[in-house]
Chains A and B, each alone.
Chain A
Amino acid sequence: MSFEISIGPQHPIHVEPLMLRLSVEGELIVDVDVDVSYIHRGIEKALEARPYIQGLYLVERICGICNAAHSLCYCLNVEQLLGKEAPPRAKYLRIVVEELSRIHSHLLWLGHYFHTLGFETLFMYFWRDRERIMDMLELITGNRVTTSYNTIGGVRRDLTPEAEQRLRRTLDYIEERMRYYEKVIDSEPTILARTQGVGILKPSDAVRLGVVGPHLRASGVKHDVRLDDPYSGHDEIPFNVITWDTCDCYARVKVRIREVYESVNMIRYALDHMPSGDYRLKIPPFFKAPPGESLSRVEAPRGELVHYSISDGGDRPYRYKVRTPTLANLLSVVEMLRSRDGYEVYIADVPAILGGIDPCICCSARVMVTDEARRRRTIMTLEDVIKISRERGAKRR
């Protein structure tokens, strides 16, 4: 007989409202249902009602953590519609901020991940170091989290020499700390026990489910938009695509730690080879885009981010569509959480596995759940749910 357990939408591990409905048999999980609809706000529709420049600030607030990636993707998209390209200096500055926010996102994830595993000390360490990156973002862009740095045709402000000096010092510090953390993680038996062999996602399954980003690279597949489709001068900057072939939660930790080193090196290279010249094109704040459609891709901290827009020649998009990485990755959670022959998943592993994909629900609420029956069920009390699942279990027997 199987039992149904609902986790969320308000729960201590994850601040974002995500609802998981697990069917369990004893300690084993046999089926999962994911509901991300708690945070659907209707951004795509709202974009159709705002001029392009206002849309920029709305797009940034799809997700606060990867706001640099979202705004970059939006700017690339609109620039493509206009047939313009940002100047070389702007491209490098965009890379600097993009990679800084990748480091911030990865540190945030690593801290949060060890918090879900119950390793509070590492959580505090990671978040303390992350503050250094936040200071840098504030120094360069003017705000800690939502940076509003990218704008249509370039970036909003230039990098001062003092900021560059401080940025270099911070990068040295972060690199040194990451080496230390890597050593801690590799020598700590509890971490290894909770991550190795947990949440296996085979490369073939990962590709079949359309998984993206560090999660895909942790399954040993070499895929990175920065390499495959260089969008902001990434072809001029050398970097390695990190992959790991153990395909478990341990691989996901390792890939993200190694990616921080890569990001540090990319920022250093960009600072060393920073082109001179303008940092933005002169584009009037309100403009009309020629009719057409455009698609842009960016490697956000969580994976490939796709923006697609249609213009009918007006001053606002006719249709705007966003495909975020977590939406692609959520499907794999269902795959990883389901016990199959020889592969067993326990309730205690749920946080480790769910956390492993670095879920960002505010991004994913693109899909509206219109399933009436299901929506009604979420308003029920826990007792009701248990009763239903008991009945169902009895039927199955």
Chain B
Amino acid sequence: MGLVEKLVKKCRARSPWILLFDTGACNACDIEIAACLTPRYDVERFGVLARGSPRHADILVVTGPVTRQARDRLIRIYEQMPEPKYVVAAGTCATSGGVYWGCYNTYPSLDSVIPVHAYVSGCPVKPEAILKAISILVEKIEKGEV
């Protein structure tokens, strides 16, 4: 690995920019993730910034069960993200369908639609849990494990 590549890897791990996408969540997970950006949890101290466009993002945070209508959008957004990209499934719904298990309009889990690198459980997820998931993921990115 050349010096430049090493440097890029290090920098990437220091500034993971995230994109939040709601594929059918009940909103509780979304507001908990939004709460991470606010003074008490302040995820920005890890270099994490929330972005509005998939083309700027490194990490896609998905909340909620994937609904049939949102599925194509999700795939498109995933494809628009530049490599390397990572996906976090936030909440019980995204990891396993949660309370909506068996609903006619949802897919059983996020990893049946796109590849997932980290799962955060909780209904809704606690902001602390999200911070932890992101810091573990970042550590792994730095070591080159994902």
Contact = CB atoms under 8 A, between A and B. Distances in A.
Interface of A: 9-12, 15-17, 37-43, 45-46, 49, 57-58, 61-65, 67, 108, 123-124, 127-128, 131, 134, 144-146, 360, 362, 375, 379
B28 to A, nearest CB: 2
Contacts, number: 120
Contacts of B123: 61, 146
A41 B38 contact: no
Contacts of A64: 25-31, 124
Contact of A131 (B40, B69, B106): B40
B108 interface: no
A62 B26 contact: yes
B52 A11 contact: yes
A135 B67 CA distance: 32
A379 B72 contact: yes
Contacts of B124: 64, 144-146
B138 to A, nearest CB: 22
Given A15-B20, A67-B26, A362-B25, 17 more contacts: A12-B52, A16-B27, A17-B21, A39-B24, A41-B106, A42-B106, A61-B99, A61-B100, A61-B123, A63-B26, A63-B27, A65-B31, A127-B35, A131-B40, A146-B124, A360-B27, A379-B72
Nearest to B33: A15
Contacts of B28: 61, 64-65, 67, 145-146
A127 B27 contact: no
A38 B102 contact: no
Contacts of A10: 21, 54, 73, 77
Nearest to A15: B30
Interface in B24-58: 24-32, 34-35, 38-40, 51-54
Contacts of B70: 9, 17, 38-39
B65 interface: yes
A134 B51 CA distance: 26
B103 A37 contact: no
Given A9-B73, A58-B99, A144-B126, A41 B27 contact: no
B26 A128 contact: no
A32 to B, nearest CB: 20
4 shortest interchain CB distances as A-B pairs:
A64-B28, A12-B52, A127-B38, A64-B27
A12 B53 contact: yes
A250 B131 CA distance: 36
Contacts of A42: 100, 103-106
B38 A61 contact: no
Contacts of A16: 22, 27, 30
A124 B21 CA distance: 21
